[in-house]
Structure 1
Amino acid sequence: MTNILEALAQNIIVDKEKCIFCGKCVEVCIVDNLRMKLAPCRQVCPLGLNCQGYAQLIARGEEAKALEVIGEDLPFPGILGRVCHHPCETECHRNKVDGSGVSLRVLKRYLADNYRLDIEQALPEKERPEKVAVIGGGPAGMMAAYTLRKKGYQVTIYEAGSRLGGMLTSCIPEFRLPGEVVLKETSVLAEMGVEVRYNTRVGQDVSLEEILEQHQAVILATGIPVSKKLGLPGEEAVNVYAALDYLKQAKDNTPNSTKDKTVLVIGGGNTAIDVAQTAYRLGAKEVRVVCLEDRGSMPAYPWEVADALEEGIIIENGWGPTSFVVEDGYVKSVEFQRCFAVLDEDGQFNPKFSPGEKQVFDADLVVVAVGQAMDTALDLGDIVVKNGFVLADAVTKQTSVDKVFAAGDVIAGPKSVADAMAMGREAAISVDRYLNDLPLAFDRNRLASCDLDFEVDFSKAKAIPRLQPPKLPGAERASFKELEQGITKEQAFLEAKRCLSCGEPYGKFRTCWSCLPCEVECPQEALYVKIPYLMR
């Protein structure tokens, strides 16, 4: 409902052909008059990326500027341009016009592949003496380290492996995310002055106690790097693999016995699909995925399931394993029973089975992909762990130990790469506040001062087919070449033009004092305040 003030004449004029929807004008409005009608893509992005801004800049032919806009919130656009789960596209208003959102993930990758972020925007303006340790160099740790180093802190990453990226470089298959992309984008951390101690396992090579003594704050971002087991007899057979071990071996080009074998993958998540598509590329004779969930409820992303089906991978839905049939130390087959419900009435994982309905699948090689857990070898001392995860405040990410914060899968369970990065940044913000003796939880809701529900004019919108990025054809998929290919400048331009540019800043309360900081600070000269000439 419009109040009396909102009914007054508007004197804030915004040129949407120039505006990049950065929100600077809203930030500097001293009378709290300006508000941002926040586009739905930006509302649901875990990182709050200015999707509308970079899409509009591509449509205007300003691609380098578009990458700068992304770089303000995300220093790893090539990574998320490939593996982001893109909730922005699901919520895009373009869906209401022609049934498909703007391909924002693909546009992000286009920018990352063809332009380079300026390292100067990441360098700290002022050095600070405080030392911060980040334990784990995966997505959450990378983003936490970047955010803190940009603020001038002396940051050290303790990484158990020989490279940064965590699952990005150790397990996500090369055909989905080339290792060279991760190495290129994570190199920004070294350029910024972040110290990385590789091959350093906390609890073995250095104790958590030592790290706490040497640093003013610590961020735990160790992830959940251990594959869960089914707990069935026979799981220890020679030809039964844990999913993460199988993927690591493939990533490291370690020889295995997949070629010409019948491979059975147990599980229905993204890791299971990664394993199945990897086995296909390693020359398996047949690959079959068996999971509890029905097709529509599989945790795996639908687009990755579709890719797997296109590659001839068989997916059996609604079956739970009951026993391994073992001969001479090798599994020969696995018996399953029908699963008719995965969750109970409270939404908790509690599968229900029909024991009378059985199915047996033969297998030369079995991979168990039923979830991941924390590394129990990591001694966390006084840090509270609950239900297998580090207990941390939902907003501030602070743990039971004041100077220790946590982020990523280690506190939330398996999440997307974008979610992990967002948590890493939130933990870093809390560390900055902690070291400056500021309230940790104050004003942490980025949506609080935005208008989230507003009318959008669809009258001029025309149906335009969504861009489908090219993929490797047929037999070429039987390799670890990148499956999805890049797009051209022309394709990017046409896809960006599909953006309805539905968000915008505006004078909500008509309480403008004509003080003009909004107009002066606008980086695009897109905002004009209507005031009497002599007053100006």
Structure 2
Amino acid sequence: MSTKGTHIPDWLTVPFAGITPAPSQEKGQDLFPTGNWRSIRPVYRDKLPPCNNACGTNEKIQGYLDLVKRGKYLDAYALIKEDMPFPSVTGRVCYHPCEQACNRGQYDEAISIRAVERFLGDLGQALARDVVKPGKPNGKKVAVVGSGPAGHSAAYQLARLGYKVTILEKSPKAGGLNRGGIPDWVLPQRVLDREIERLVELGVTIKTNVEVGKDVTWDGLKKNYDACVLAVGLTEPNSVRAEGENKDGVLYGLPFLRDIGMGTSKVKLGARVAVIGGGNTAIDCAREALRQGAVEVTMITVESNPEEMPCVPEDLHDMLEEGVELLHGRAMTAVLGNGRVEALQLYRARFSGAINASPITVNRGAPAERFAVDNVIIAVGQHASLTWLPKEFKNERGTINVDRFGRLGDTNFFAAGDIVQWGSGQPLMVVNAVGDGKRVAFNLDKVLRGEPLEPRKVPVDVIMDLNRMNMTYFPHFPRVRQAMLPPVSRRKTQGEVIQPFTEQQAVEEASRCFSCGTCNACDNCYLVCPEPCIVRSARSNGLYKILVNYCKGCRVCIEECPTGCLEGVPELDFDTGVVRMDTAFAISPGLHGRQAQELLNLGSRPAKEI
């Protein structure tokens, strides 16, 4: 029977005869704390996405991908600039270890993170004013020796911390390896120039044609600056110790690229060029040789097949597309010719142990091969030039001896980049040098402020198992491909080979991100909760709240969380957040209500007599 429209006399309105009106939701949770039924509590606990963890400078990759897919490009650019001073550079040259770690690679194809970073970097280059500002001046001066990736990064972070920074660069132009080791068709000079302008806008002074040990001494650095960062890199090319290596027409990889990058090259290559080496610099030299007029370019490697070569696979693919030939399992033992290279003497060779990490065994019992060339470019790595460095700070690897914080003994000198990482097992990459420069800058700041240097003690939970996420919510989508210049036409141009993403492509690619282990405000938990136990003030990471007095621990939100940021924690791990009651209706200890401390002592109680 319906009572709709019926007038209820005052003496019959509730409460009467012990009847009370239904409470509001808020009052109801106070009166009936059904959270006491719970044995598992859902907790928002962000993990570390594998891309962030693999990045040498620990960029917040998931964060800026999430912002890009929401169209918040300036926010994304500002986020990346916290860790990376020049995203327009790394967006072109980085070997993207983040993509190799990307969980999407287990599912279909890894996200093209580098391309999105380039999109943001180019956006930043177009801004009249950068989003980064110098810190409040603290009256202290720091010298940074070297303007490559590590030096640039250290100077950038120190300027943000309020230091007066001076970069000392021995070349006529700033940029270090970024300018002298990376060809224009990968990193145009104008892009690097703009990033260096940004550094100057932060108040950093750059002095070129200043060489440590010649124009400035170790003692001079100690006297004139409160601290110093040594980021001098590996500047001297390695020899293969072949007979006749000093003949005309023999070139070395890094100087070959550096002279072209600095605009000082006078080399005229012949039609036939051989490149000795199988790494990334060797690939750049081979491709640059085509652009400098060579007709036939052959890369000669000790490695027995392409899979063993210590280079980025896609760069190798692009090189082969351009027509460079590969000759495997050979070592150059002599340069033949009358004063000028005419041919190379090659023998069969292999590594005696681990590939690229053991001595080379040359099979001189087999007949030698004669390989005709007009030029040979030797690109088998570099070493440091540290004649100016006090002996106590040199190590057996020929690099700078530092502690785990990048510090030289108890001095105010720090070192970063390839000059520290070479031979340590750390891959020599631009992004690793940038990360090294950033960490050293923060450590230097602590020392000058009198704070102790301590290793990070916070445990890191990297989410790498797809089973920790709900993959039902992620349909398969192919990776967005970057357009490239045709192989035939790009052989003769310095134009960028890899083309940038459009805005639509950047958003589409960023939208493929799983946000591994990190809340991306998908609202699933908010929508699927069968009770009103999850509230939020806005749809944003960090603003979701579990009403613990009411949540029954049904786990629906945990199971339906796509990213794995929600996890179930045993209720007895908590001693706050819910009113616990003793109740006769508990079917097992703790299920809804015995005191946590009482249950912890349960094992020490004597057995009951039955």
User: Shared fold (TM-score greater than 0.5)?
Assistant: yes
User: Per-residue deviation at 1:412?
Assistant: 1.4
Q: Does 1:489 align with 2:514?
A: no
Mapping of 1:422-433 within 5 angstroms?
422-433=435-446
Equivalents in 1 of 2:233, 2:353: separation in Å? 25
Equivalents in 2 of 1:411, 1:175: separation in Å? 29
What is the match of residue 587 of structure 2?
none
Q: Does 1:530 align with 2:546?
A: yes
Across the aligned residues of Structure 1 and Structure 2, the Cα RMSD in angstroms comes to 2.5
Q: Does 1:389 align with 2:399?
A: yes
What is the one-letter code of the residue matched to 2:430?
Answer: V
User: Per-residue deviation at 1:451?
Assistant: 4.9
User: Per-residue deviation at 1:262?
Assistant: 0.3
Equivalents in 2 of 1:417, 1:439: separation in Å? 29
Over 3 Å counting, the alpha-carbon distance change for 1:283 and 1:211 in structure 2 is same
What is the match of residue 66 of structure 1?
76
Checking the alignment, whether the CA contact within 8 Å between 1:326 and 1:333 is kept in structure 2 is yes
User: Per-residue deviation at 1:344?
Assistant: 4.3
Equivalents in 2 of 1:349, 1:292: separation in Å? 12
Deviations along 1:8-64, one digit per CA (max 9) or x if unpaired, are 32265xxxxxxxxxxxxxxxxxxxxxx421111111111111111111222112222
What is the match of residue 10 of structure 1?
42
Q: Does 1:399 align with 2:408?
A: yes
Checking the alignment, whether the CA contact within 8 Å between 1:147 and 1:425 is kept in structure 2 is yes
Mapping of 1:43-192 within 5 angstroms?
43-98=53-108, 100-116=109-125, 121-192=131-202
What is the match of residue 206 of structure 2?
196
Over 3 Å counting, the alpha-carbon distance change for 1:532 and 1:418 in structure 2 is closer
User: Per-residue deviation at 1:524?
Assistant: 4.7
Over 3 Å counting, the alpha-carbon distance change for 1:239 and 1:194 in structure 2 is same
Checking the alignment, whether the CA contact within 8 Å between 2:281 and 2:379 is kept in structure 1 is yes
What is the match of residue 511 of structure 1?
none
User: Per-residue deviation at 1:480?
Assistant: 0.7
Checking the alignment, whether the CA contact within 8 Å between 1:84 and 1:417 is kept in structure 2 is yes
User: Per-residue deviation at 1:178?
Assistant: 0.7
What is the match of residue 19 of structure 2?
none
What is the match of residue 376 of structure 2?
366
Checking the alignment, whether the CA contact within 8 Å between 1:390 and 1:410 is kept in structure 2 is yes
Checking the alignment, whether the CA contact within 8 Å between 1:37 and 1:505 is kept in structure 2 is no
Checking the alignment, whether the CA contact within 8 Å between 1:223 and 1:374 is kept in structure 2 is yes
What is the one-letter code of the residue matched to 1:406?
Answer: A
Equivalents in 1 of 2:277, 2:383: separation in Å? 15
What is the match of residue 233 of structure 1?
243
Q: Does 1:434 align with 2:447?
A: yes
Equivalents in 1 of 2:414, 2:539: separation in Å? 35
Equivalents in 2 of 1:452, 1:458: separation in Å? 14
What is the match of residue 284 of structure 1?
294
Equivalents in 2 of 1:377, 1:337: separation in Å? 35
Checking the alignment, whether the CA contact within 8 Å between 1:131 and 1:217 is kept in structure 2 is yes
Equivalents in 2 of 1:168, 1:301: separation in Å? 17
Equivalents in 2 of 1:36, 1:525: separation in Å? 10
Equivalents in 2 of 1:223, 1:490: separation in Å? 39
Name whichever of 119-128 and 273-282 sits farther off: 119-128
Checking the alignment, whether the CA contact within 8 Å between 1:97 and 1:461 is kept in structure 2 is no
Q: Higher strand share goes to which structure? A: 1
Checking the alignment, whether the CA contact within 8 Å between 1:56 and 1:501 is kept in structure 2 is yes
Equivalents in 1 of 2:351, 2:548: separation in Å? 68
Return the structure number with greater relative CO, CA threshold 8 A, min gap 6. Answer: 1
Over 3 Å counting, the alpha-carbon distance change for 1:316 and 1:11 in structure 2 is closer
> Could you say what secondary structure the match of 1:126 adopts?
coil
Equivalents in 2 of 1:207, 1:348: separation in Å? 35
Checking the alignment, whether the CA contact within 8 Å between 1:174 and 1:480 is kept in structure 2 is yes
> Could you say what secondary structure the match of 2:287 adopts?
helix
User: Per-residue deviation at 1:499?
Assistant: 1.1
Deviations along 1:435-479, one digit per CA (max 9) or x if unpaired, are 112121332x6x724454561221222221112211111432021
Checking the alignment, whether the CA contact within 8 Å between 1:243 and 1:367 is kept in structure 2 is yes
Name whichever of 39-48 and 241-250 sits farther off: 241-250
Over 3 Å counting, the alpha-carbon distance change for 1:140 and 1:523 in structure 2 is farther
What is the match of residue 27 of structure 1?
none
User: Per-residue deviation at 1:525?
Assistant: 6.6
What is the match of residue 29 of structure 1?
none
Name whichever of 262-271 and 111-120 sits farther off: 111-120
> Could you say what secondary structure the match of 1:105 adopts?
helix
What is the match of residue 458 of structure 1?
471
Equivalents in 1 of 2:237, 2:323: separation in Å? 26
Checking the alignment, whether the CA contact within 8 Å between 1:320 and 1:339 is kept in structure 2 is yes
Equivalents in 2 of 1:340, 1:131: separation in Å? 51
Checking the alignment, whether the CA contact within 8 Å between 2:143 and 2:225 is kept in structure 1 is yes
User: Per-residue deviation at 1:505?
Assistant: 5.6
What is the match of residue 25 of structure 1?
none
Over 3 Å counting, the alpha-carbon distance change for 1:81 and 1:7 in structure 2 is farther
Over 3 Å counting, the alpha-carbon distance change for 1:245 and 1:523 in structure 2 is farther
Checking the alignment, whether the CA contact within 8 Å between 1:250 and 1:278 is kept in structure 2 is no
User: Per-residue deviation at 1:376?
Assistant: 4.2
> Could you say what secondary structure the match of 1:390 adopts?
coil
What is the one-letter code of the residue matched to 2:306?
Answer: R
User: Per-residue deviation at 1:120?
Assistant: 6.3
What is the match of residue 354 of structure 1?
363
Equivalents in 2 of 1:495, 1:113: separation in Å? 17
What is the one-letter code of the residue matched to 1:10?
Answer: P
Equivalents in 2 of 1:323, 1:103: separation in Å? 43
Q: Does 1:265 align with 2:271?
A: no
User: Per-residue deviation at 1:270?
Assistant: 1.0
Checking the alignment, whether the CA contact within 8 Å between 1:382 and 1:401 is kept in structure 2 is no
Instruction: Structure 1 unaligned segments of length 5 or more: list them.
Output: 1-5, 13-34, 507-518
Over 3 Å counting, the alpha-carbon distance change for 1:237 and 1:123 in structure 2 is same
Equivalents in 1 of 2:396, 2:539: separation in Å? 47
Equivalents in 1 of 2:306, 2:129: separation in Å? 44
> Could you say what secondary structure the match of 1:46 adopts?
coil
Equivalents in 2 of 1:491, 1:210: separation in Å? 51
Equivalents in 2 of 1:484, 1:505: separation in Å? 33
What is the match of residue 299 of structure 1?
310
User: 223, 227, 251: which is aligned to 2:233?
Assistant: 223
Size of the alignment, in residue pairs?
Answer: 488
Equivalents in 2 of 1:257, 1:323: separation in Å? 22
What is the one-letter code of the residue matched to 2:333?
Answer: T
Deviations along 1:476-510, one digit per CA (max 9) or x if unpaired, are 2021111111121111122112111222269xxxx
Over 3 Å counting, the alpha-carbon distance change for 1:352 and 1:54 in structure 2 is same
Over 3 Å counting, the alpha-carbon distance change for 1:246 and 1:197 in structure 2 is same
What is the match of residue 509 of structure 1?
none
What is the match of residue 314 of structure 1?
325
> Could you say what secondary structure the match of 2:435 adopts?
helix
TM-score (norm 2): 0.75
User: Per-residue deviation at 1:267?
Assistant: 0.8
> Could you say what secondary structure the match of 1:160 adopts?
coil
Checking the alignment, whether the CA contact within 8 Å between 1:80 and 1:105 is kept in structure 2 is yes
Deviations along 1:388-419, one digit per CA (max 9) or x if unpaired, are 111112x3011235211100111112710001
Checking the alignment, whether the CA contact within 8 Å between 1:36 and 1:451 is kept in structure 2 is no
Checking the alignment, whether the CA contact within 8 Å between 2:217 and 2:388 is kept in structure 1 is no
What is the one-letter code of the residue matched to 2:330?
Answer: W
> Could you say what secondary structure the match of 2:471 adopts?
coil
Instruction: Structure 2 unaligned segments of length 5 or more: list them.
Output: 1-37, 521-535, 550-576, 578-610
User: Per-residue deviation at 1:248?
Assistant: 2.3
Percent identity reads 32
Name whichever of 305-314 and 210-219 sits farther off: 210-219
